[in-house]
Amino acid sequence: MIPGFNVDKRRHERLKQSALVDFSDGNIFIRGEIRDISLGGMQIESLRGLPRGTEIVIVLPIGEATKIRGTVRWVRKEGLKYFMGVKFHDITPDLEASIKDVIQSLFWQQVRE
C-alpha cells in the first residue's frame, strides 16, 4: 500500500442517503437511519448499537417491506449515537432486485429534495 493512498475495498458503489430502517437481532427491535447503502451492505445510525459479528434482520423502508439478513461488521460510537457497518448475505436474485429498487427509490427521493 502506498502511504497516504487509501484503497476502497468495496465492490459496490454506495448511495449516501438518510431513511428510516428497522432491524433486529432476534431479541430486540431497533429503529435507525440508513446513512449509506449499496448492493453489498449499509451503514446504520441508531441510538443503540449491536456488537460486531451480530447477525441481524433488516426491514428495508421502501415499498413492500423487504427483509434482508446481514452481519454487523463494525461499530463506532459518537456521543449518544452508534454507527454500524452491515454486510448483507444470502442475497438471491429477487432480493438483489429489491435492494436495487430501494437504492433507486432513495436516489430519486434525494434528487427531489
Question: Which CATH number applies to 15-112?
Answer: 2.40.10.220
Q: pLDDT higher for 61 or 87?
A: 87
**Would you state the cell numbers that stand for residue 86, as one nine-digit string?**
452491515
CB distance 14 to 20 below 8 Å: no
Of 64 and 23, the structure prediction assigns the larger pLDDT to: 23
Residue 2 has pLDDT above 50, yes or no: no
Please report which confidence band the pLDDT of residue 112 belongs to, taking 50, 70 and 90 as the band edges. low
Q: What is the pLDDT of residues 7-60, one digit of tens each?
A: 334 455 555 667 889 999 999 999 999 998 889 999 999 999 999 999 999 998
Sorted by where each begins, the domain ranges of the chain are 15-112
pLDDT level of residue 111 (50, 70, 90 thresholds): low
Dihedral, 84, 29, 68, 45 alpha carbons, nearest 10: -20
- Whether residue 90 is predicted with pLDDT greater than 70 in this model: the reply is yes
